[in-house]
Chain A
């Protein structure tokens, strides 16, 4: 080998040495890295182990310390494990006796229980299972269970765990509440009055009657404010009152207001609004009770209208009576004047017969005139033109004594003073005048006597007017108070006088009757109400 060759070999060896050194260095580095990683992994592993241990013990703690009853069962409902709380609640201990949970379920809930279990198998969890069960002491309990499945390493379900909550009391209260609510609802729903519950004027609940009254459904009304169903002109008044109630100044108020129905028609209703306050006096609700008075109001209006019409027609009749009487009386005056002139102007040519006929004519005219006056007076006796004043009956009798014709042999006596009464003076005058003028002219005996007396009957005064005249036969007693029916045989009797008397007494809510013996005399009795 030449030196050149040696040099080359040396160089190559040198290179190889260097490369190995480098490789060794890399190897060394890598192995250190590896060591580090291993070390790190070891650490992590131990950390994880610790963590797992911790968690397991934690879970154990949870299981033991869980307050609610906790049960683990296999898929055939056999209890595998249960906590103290469960033992206490159910009364069973799985370590002492075999316990199958399906046997505890109330018969009514068996089907529901198996359905629920099916859904647990399919979904893996079951929430809010509610059923009635029997505990060991045979007491009924309401339970609510939330449960989930437990799987093995191959994700195959092997058991189910659940937390039981005793909701017996809760359910009982609920049941009681719902029963009371049902009873209340029955009352509210069957009330003929519309009832609405509002919060600050916003409608939250109404009853059936309210829906019917207003035409909107419960759903629609829940979107509405009281203002929406009140007619504009009515808003202000009731809103001011509502404001006062909100301020706590008043507890309730009643108004008559109009509402607008869904179909646009109006409804007049008496509305009573009360505040419902909570413990602190703050207002929670307003209860409005609505009573439909539309029909009532309409009846009232109708009545008013009828009364007005009646008044008008009464007045019309009055006018009519006056016009007719005037038109009938005028020609009578003419006939009387003409016949008088005939007698005056032709007295020289008229014979006795002619004068007699003319007198007859005048008499007939006179009786017709009396008749017309009588009818007019009769028709004027109405309550329309009553002027109520305190009328002294003694004075009335004295005045009548002055006006009417009293035969010399007849005397009118008032033994005891008569009362005073709030009445229409003219009508009382008419009343006594008609009876008295009848009485005084029908006395044939030597000394005629007409006696007037009054008796206090409480709510009424009773008057009697007794005469010792000819008397009225029994068969006429009823008849004489009817218009145009006269029992008298005297000239000039129109048969209207006593019918006027009857009409006046009717106005004073009284009665009239008589006792009479033919040849001995007649007593008229009548009553007048003291206060009209």
Chain B
């Protein structure tokens, strides 16, 4: 799978990379440090990523702002986007589902828990039929 990870925290990025490599999953991770960078990446990306993992609290363009732009785009709106955040704010959660998301994962405190959660998420999407555009 081609995964676009939108995340400003370097260690969070390392966590996903480490999880993927440790579990020997054959996924390709493209990184973007914020929403704006992600949109630029998406413009040029061929092929488009299969899923997007999106952090919410980011500088410049927040995850929700990015999500709104993505869902307004005729082509990009089909990309399954899974929110990956520490925010347990119910208002955020409702807003995300309202705009349209494919999942809302709370980042657990322990790295082991993170690994197991992400393993499940990636496996789930891996067995899905994807748009592949």
Contacts and interface: CB of A to CB of B under 8 A. Distances in A.
B89 to A, nearest CB: 4
Interface stretch (B37-45, B67-75, B104-112, B123-131): B104-112
Contacts of A334: 9, 11-12
A130 interface: no
Q: Classify chain A's interface size.
A: 20 to 34
Interface string B4-19: 0000010110110010
A376 B88 CA distance: 9
Interface of A: 322-323, 325-327, 329-330, 332-334, 336-338, 340-341, 362, 365-366, 369, 373, 376, 385
A385 B110 contact: no
A365 B109 contact: yes
A330 B86 contact: yes
Given A330-B9, A330-B86, A385-B90, A336 B110 contact: yes
Given A333-B107, A373-B88, 11 more contacts: A322-B88, A322-B92, A329-B109, A330-B12, A333-B86, A333-B109, A336-B109, A337-B15, A340-B110, A366-B109, A366-B110
B2 interface: no
B14 A337 contact: yes
Interface in B67-119: 85-90, 92, 107-112, 114
Contact of B57 (A326, A333, A338): A326
A337 B111 contact: yes
Interface of B: 9, 11-12, 14-15, 18, 57, 85-90, 92, 107-112, 114
B11 A337 contact: yes
A330 B84 CA distance: 12
A333 to B, nearest CB: 6
A327 B8 CA distance: 12
Contacts of B89: 322
A482 B100 CA distance: 41
18 contacts: A322-B87, A322-B89, A325-B88, A329-B109, A330-B9, A330-B57, A330-B86, A333-B107, A333-B111, A333-B114, A337-B15, A337-B111, A337-B114, A340-B110, A341-B111, A362-B110, A366-B110, A369-B109
Nearest to B107: A333
A206 B34 CA distance: 73
Contacts of A330: 9, 12, 57, 86
A336 B57 CA distance: 19
Contacts, number: 52
Binding site secondary structure of chain A: helix
A326 B87 contact: yes
Interface centre among A327, A340, A373 (most CB of B within 10 A): A340
Interface centre among A332, A334, A376, A385 (most CB of B within 10 A): A334
Contacts of A366: 109-110
A389 B14 CA distance: 44
A316 to B, nearest CB: 13
A293 B118 CA distance: 64
Contacts of A369: 109
B11 A338 contact: yes
Contacts of A340: 110-112
A326 B14 CA distance: 19
Contacts of A326: 57, 85-87
A330 B55 CA distance: 11
Contact of A329 (B15, B86, B111): B86
Contacts of B57: 323, 326-327, 330
The 3 closest A-B pairs by CB, nearest first: A340-B111, A334-B11, A337-B111
B103 to A, nearest CB: 19
Nearest to A380: B90
A373 B87 CA distance: 10
B63 to A, nearest CB: 12
A331 to B, nearest CB: 9
Contacts of A362: 110
Interface centre among B85, B86, B88 (most CB of A within 10 A): B86
Contacts of A332: 109
A451 to B, nearest CB: 32
Nearest to A370: B109
Nearest to B55: A330
Nearest to A377: B88
Contacts of A329: 86, 109
A334 B9 CA distance: 9
Given A333-B12, A334-B9, A336-B111, A341 B86 contact: no
A341 B12 contact: no
A347 B12 CA distance: 22
Nearest to A366: B109
Nearest to A330: B86
A369 B111 CA distance: 14
A338 B10 CA distance: 12
Nearest to B89: A322
A369 B110 CA distance: 10
A376 B9 CA distance: 22
Nearest to B112: A340
A476 to B, nearest CB: 29
A359 B114 CA distance: 18
Contacts of B108: 333
Nearest to A345: B18
